[in-house]
Structure 1
C-alpha cells in the first residue's frame, strides 16, 4: 500500500487538511473535539490522536517565546476533584503582555505549569534561558509574595508592576471589612434588610464619580444615622483616594496621589485602612511602577483566564492535564510566536 504522508500522517485516519481545519475550529470558533468528531463522522479519540501531535510540535517550538518584553503571571483552578486522583488543582499561567507597534497589548498564553508558588514560576523562568529573561523588561503580577520572589530572583533587570485592579480591590475589601465591623459594634448582628449600613454596601463598592444623586442621598442618610458610621465614610474616602490615583490622565499626578497614599494610610486610626497602608508600603516599588511603565497591568492575563474558563466549560472539564495545557495554549494564542 502506498504511503502519502503529505495527505495523511503515517497510521493516521484523518487527512492533514482535515487536521488543519480541526485546529482552526478549536482555535477560532471555540469548537469542541467532540463537536468536530461529530462533523467528521468519527470519534473523539480519532480526532484528538490526529490533532495532538501537531499541537505538541507547536508547543515545543521555542520561537514562540521570542520578543516577550512584558510578562504577566496568574493562577487558576483547572479541576475540582480530589488532588490525589488528578494532581494539584492550581496551575500557574504565564502570559505575554507585550505591546505591538500601535501600543496595544496582544495577550497570549505562553505556558501552564502545575502549582501556585514562587518556585513553580521561578523554575519556568529558569528553563526559558538567559536571553528570554534579559528581554523581559516589565513583569506584572497580583499581590502574591511568591511570584514577586521569583521575579526578583530570575528577572533582575525587569520592573515588577502590581496590578491596578487588585490594588483597588484591596481598598474596596478594606471598606467592606470596616462596614461589617461597625455593623456588629452598633447593632450586634450581621447586616439585615433595613439596616442603614447594609443598605449601602453596593454603593460603597462603587466609584464616587459613578454615583447618582439618589445614591449620594442614600449614602449620606446611612452615614448620618449613627455617629459611629463616620468611620465607614472615612474608610470609603480612603479607598476613593486610592482609586483616583489610577484615574488621573497625567501619570505624574497619579503618582503623587499614590505616594501620598503609601506615606499616610499606615498611620490611619482605622485598623483596616492601616493594614492596607502597611500592605502598600511592602509593595511600594511595584505599586508605584504602574506610573512609570505606561500603565502596565495584569489585565491581559485576566482576559486570557476568561478564555481558559470558556473552553473549560465548553469541554465540560478535563481529566488529563497535558491535554488541558495543549488545548488552552491553542485557544489563548500560545502556539504562535
Structure 2
C-alpha cells in the first residue's frame, strides 16, 4: 500500500489536502494485461494527484471568474501548466462548438501583437506568417458575445469563416454592422448577399472630425507659416470644435463662433464652414431611431452636400464623396438604428484580457480566453461589482 495525496478545495474556509491510502491489487490470471492496479474513484482517476473538482474550480476561475492563469494557480496551489490545461478543458466544455444563428452580426478588427514574416526559399519573397490583425464576429442581437475570430483582415478570411457556417445559419443573418471598410463590404456582398449592410455612425462622426481637423491644420500652416500653438485661438479651440453643438452650452458655443469670426478671413471663415458642415452631418445622423420621413432625410442630406460644395475645401469635398459612396449603408443606420457598439466593446475586452495576461504567444489560447470573457454575461457568470 502507498500514500497518494489528492488536493481538493474545501466547501468553505481554507484549502485542505486529502491523503488517501490506496490499496494495490494483483491479478493472479496469467492472461491479464494489467497484472496489478490500484483503487480509484470518479473524482480521483488513476495516476491523478488532484481531484476533478479542484481542476474544474481552477479552470472556471479563469474562464468565468476573470482570473488570469497565474492568479488561479496561486489561489488553488497549483502550477501554471495544470491550470492552463484545466482552463482549456473548461472552455471547450462551456463554449458551443458552433454558434447559434444570429439576426444581427457585427464584424470588426482588432490588433494583436506584431506581424511575423518568413522567407520563401523557392520564390525568395517574404510572406506573412502571423498577421497582427484579427477579425472578430459578434452577436449584436443576442447574448452570445464573440462568435469567433480569424487571423487576418482580408476578404478570404471573412468569407472563409462565414462559409464554414451552414447555409441555414447564413440565411438567418438579416443585418451586418461594420465600420467603413471596403474589405468587409466586399466579403459580406459575396458571402451574405441577402443581408443589409449598416455602417456604424461612430466612424462617420470620426471621419467628419478628422476632415475638420485637417482643414484647421492646413490653414494654420498656410496663414501663420507654422503649426498651431498656444496663443492661436483656432488651436485653443481644437477640442471644442470636435464636440457636438447639441451637447454644448450656449456659454461655450456662442463665444467659439465669435472667436472664429474674429480670426483673419482666410483662417476663420473656412474653419467655421467646416464646423458647420460637420454639424450638418451630425444633424443628419441624429435622425436615427426617430422614424424619420424620407423628405426630412433628403432635406438634411442636401444641406450637408450644399455646404460642402459651397465651401470649396478639398477636405469637405472628399468627405462628401465618402458619404455619397456609403450612403446606402448610412441610410440603413438611420432606418434601423443598428450600431457596431457591441463589437467595439468586445474589442475592449479582448485588449484588456491580453494586457492582464501580459500577451499571448498562442493565438488559440487567446481566442479561448476572449470567447470565455465575452460570453460571461450570457452564461450568467458576470460579476456586477
Scaled by the length of structure 1, the TM-score of the pair is 0.88
Q: Structure 1 or 2: larger strand share?
A: 2
CA distance in 2 between partners of 1:310 and 1:42 (Å): 24
Q: How far apart are the structure 2 equivalents of 1:282 and 1:38? A: 55
- Structure 1 residue 108 displacement after superposition: 0.6
Once residues 128 and 10 of structure 1 are traced to their aligned partners in structure 2, the CA distance between those partners, rounded to angstroms, is 39
Distance 2:271 2:140 in 1: 37
- Name the SS for the 1:7 alignment partner: coil
Whether 2:313 is the aligned partner of 1:270: answer yes
* Cα separation, partners in 2 of 1:43 and 1:242, compared to 1, 3 Å: same
Q: 1:122 aligns with which of 147, 159, 165?
A: 159
When Rg is computed on C-alpha atoms for both structures, the one with the higher figure is 2
1:107: Cα distance to partner? 6.3
- Counterpart in 1 of 2:101? 67
Check the 8 A contact 2:114/2:131 in 1, yes or no.
no
CA apart distance, 1:213: 3.9
Q: Is the 8 A contact 1:107 1:304 kept in 2?
A: no
Partner of 1:25: 61
Contact 1:33-1:44 within 8 A present in 2 as well: yes
> Aligned partners of 1:21, 1:258: CA distance in 2, in Å?
57
Q: Is the 8 A contact 2:59 2:88 kept in 1?
A: no
Q: Distance in 1 between matches of 2:69 and 2:134?
A: 23
The residue aligned with 2:196 is 159
Q: Structure 1 pair 23/240, CA: closer, same or farther in 2 (3 Å)?
A: farther
Q: 1:47-67 CA distances to partner (integer Å, 9 max, x unpaired)?
A: 1112213323545622xx213
For the 8 Å contact 1:329–1:335, the answer to whether it is kept is no
Compared CA separation, residues 19 and 239, structure 1 to 2 (3 A): farther
- Which sections of structure 2, spanning at least 5 residues, go unmatched? 1-37, 119-127, 380-385
> Is contact 2:308–2:317 with CA below 8 Å preserved after alignment?
yes
Whether the aligned pair in 2 keeps the contact of 1:203 and 1:219 (CA below 8 Å) is no
User: 1:68·1:96 contact (CA, 8 Å) conserved in 2?
Assistant: yes
Query: Where in structure 1 are there 5+ consecutive unaligned residues?
Result: 100-105
More helix by share: 1
State the 4+ residue runs in structure 1 displaced beyond 6 angstroms.
334-337
Q: What's the secondary structure of 2:113's corresponding residue?
A: coil
Cα 1:290–1:81 change in 2 (3 A) is closer
1:251 match: 291
8 A Cα contact 1:59 1:335, kept in partner: no
The answer to which structure, 1 or 2, has the higher relative contact order (CA under 8 A, 6+ apart) is 1
CA contact (8 A) 1:143 1:162 kept: yes
**Cα distance in structure 2, aligned partners of 1:12 and 1:83:** 42
In the alignment, does 2:79 pair up with 1:43? yes
Q: Does 2:143 correspond to 1:143?
A: no
CA distance in 1, matches of 2:309, 2:46: 70
Q: What do you get for the CA RMSD once the two structures are aligned?
A: 2.5
- Please point out which of 118, 130, 136 is paired with 1:87: 130
TM-score between the two structures when normalised by the length of structure 2: 0.78
Matched, 1:168 2:205: yes
Matched, 1:78 2:115: no
